[in-house]
Structure 1
């Protein structure tokens, strides 16, 4: 497996993001979807990582938006057939390391209450629940988490 920062506007990566949307869409009403689009993922202040298998096929991705004072994880996804292989942990590790190298010491995220696997994954990775942040509305379907970079 190879994980690297890449552009999100590649056909196989666009398909990964579409697969993520297809997974999340039935879980939450439209007003509780907070994903960001392809144009936002391509912005200069966004780190976007792609995991590829030995054949070069995109199997996972994730983004970290560099905000003032913290980085926010967005669009973390691994194809179902590739889960349980450490892909998400490696994507997350690369994003956190790249952000830390750019001076980011606090990582935050929003995920949904109907994604227990994601909640457990982030907890294992050192994220703890916190209050709402940024421009997010008060949504009972959202869970907010944060991790501070180890010193």
Structure 2
């Protein structure tokens, strides 16, 4: 990992690997690391007590994507199919040590590409924390409905045309 004297936006100088698997195909230790990162970010850091394990990871066509440095999971997201057939990206989380170093952007590009592979021409949706809407816009997403609060955090629905 970068030393403490590097600026926060310094690129990571370790080899990164990207992974994709269904819940059934993730080994137990990696799954633990993925879920730990999501809990660290969404429950602990953002102080939101909510059911992180919502059942959607176990859906037949759900896929978990993550970027790692060795065994350390630096970022993760999941790709789902909503009941109306749209593809959904969710649970985008990056380890504090990897933020502003391109890990989340790398994962979003992978997630969008995976959605396009899974269902060409189908829209991709996500619910963004409102302060990140401009960041998601970099990947072709536009606000697609009224803002709402989830666990006390303002969100906006976003859509990327398929």
TM over 0.5: yes
Please name the residue that 1:92 is paired with: 108
Please name the residue that 2:74 is paired with: 59
1:106 is aligned, of 119, 123, 134, to 123
Structure 1 residue 38: Cα displacement: 5.8
Structure 1 residue 112: Cα displacement: 2.7
Q: Which runs of 5+ in 1 are unaligned?
A: 133-137
Structure 1 residue 36: Cα displacement: 5.2
1:23 is aligned, of 18, 21, 45, to 45
The higher radius of gyration belongs to: 2
Please name the residue that 1:147 is paired with: 160
1:119 is aligned, of 130, 133, 140, to 133
CA 1:51 to 1:103, structure 2 compared with 1: closer, same or farther past 3 Å?
Answer: same
Structure 1 residue 4: Cα displacement: 1.3
How many residues were matched structurally? 134
**Separation in 1, partners of 2:73, 2:161:** 29
Could you list the structure 1 runs, at least 4 aligned residues long, displaced by more than 4 angstroms after superposition: none
**Separation in 2, partners of 1:145, 1:36:** 21
Structure 1 residue 119: Cα displacement: 2.2
TM-score (norm. length: structure 1)? 0.75
TM-score (norm. length: structure 2)? 0.71
Q: Which runs of 5+ in 2 are unaligned?
A: 1-15
Question: Is 1:75–2:91 an aligned residue pair?
Answer: yes
Please name the residue that 1:135 is paired with: none
